[in-house]
Amino acid sequence: MVLWLCGAGHGMAESKLNVLCGVDEAWCVTMQKAFESKMGVEISVVRKSTGEILDQIRAEREHPTIDVWWGGTGDTHLQASSEGLLEEYHPANPNDLLPWAQNFYAMSGSRSAGIYAGALGFAYNTELLAEAGLPAPTCWKDLAKDIYRGHIQSGNPNSSGTAFTLLATLVQLFGEDEAFSFMAKLDHNVVAYTKAGSAPVKAAARGDVLIGISFMHDAVTQKIEGFPLAIVAPCEGTGYEIGAASIIKGAANLVLARAFVDYALSPEAQATGFSAGQNQVPSNAKASLPLTAPDISMIKMVDYDFATFGLPEERSRLLARFDNEIHPTQ
């Protein structure tokens, strides 16, 4: 098996498999080591934010240097699929995938596979909250109150898939105009917009900021490490991500790229997330759910419209409005 894959990969390209990784750096490294050990090959894995990955793939569409895009929010993978940037792919064991992952795969036109799910929320540092004498926020709209001015970090939706999920979630919860009115008020309280979506809760965990907006599983990871975080599923409801894996159109190492994505969908590979301290819900029905993963069945969720917010024109339009009305790109 290993010899066949190595031979096929060598016959197609001299370079090693190149993977862009959209999950936490710790999981990128763990997954790389696990795949290399299983397959007996060396690969290159580079961590970038989801928006950065999409920009690179677009820029290289005529001469791609990347074979696999692993991780990052699914609506961005859908945008790449609709732009003809992804290769058609057929999972080795499609019936092992949970229904939401099967639906996502069909939505992508058989070009992207869901590997995990996670709900959006925010977390606050309980020690800083007590020191400041502030009430605990429980809803999205609480974050726009003047009492939290200078106390919040959020991602920038131009680079962060997490932050674009927030933008799309608010539009679906409140309607577009009300959502942008809320974000304008929230902007007064945001001390920094980060490139990576997990950075805000990491900052809150360290005590650099009171409140961080991120996916709840990223906050759980910090809390397990002993940081004083309280994790909030907002009262109005929230959106969620389906993290995905895709093969790039024109990939030089197509056989090994398919092997990587097949592995990423296996229970063995999905267990690498928990071993790397991650707490997403895996897409393979045979995979074990991390005991510390947020129970998304107990969270009030929007019926997230991946089809609409996975359209390139919708992403571009919303980002342009965000840049013009909320926070101009520097």
- Which pLDDT does position 13 carry in this prediction? 43
User: What's the pLDDT at 294?
Assistant: 83
Query: Is the CB of residue 39 less than 8 Å from the CB of residue 33?
Result: no
Residue 226: both structure tokens together: 């002993």
Q: Does residue 177 come out as left (phi exceeding 0), alpha (psi in the -120 to 50 range) or beta?
A: alpha
Scan for tokens 């020690």, then name that residue.
127
Structure confidence at residue 11 (pLDDT): 38
How far apart, in whole angstroms, are the C-alpha atoms of residue 265 and residue 116? 9
pLDDT of residue 330: 57
DSSP designation for 94 = G
Domain ranges of the chain: 2-118+240-290, 119-239+311-325
Residues of the chain with pLDDT under 50: 1-14
> What is the per-residue pLDDT for 293?
83
In this chain, the answer to whether the domains covering 2-118+240-290 and 119-239+311-325 adopt an identical fold is yes
pLDDT at position 292, please? Answer: 83
Spell out the CATH class of 119-239+311-325: alpha beta
Which stretch of DSSP H or E encloses residue 226? Answer: none
pTM summary value: 0.84
Cβ atoms 84, 270 nearer than 8 A: no
- Can you tell me which residue has the tokens 């074979």? 67
For residue 3, the model assigns a pLDDT of 32
Architecture of domain 2-118+240-290: 3-Layer(aba) Sandwich (3.40)
The tokens describing 296, both together, are: 């998304």
CB atoms within 10 A of CB 178: 12
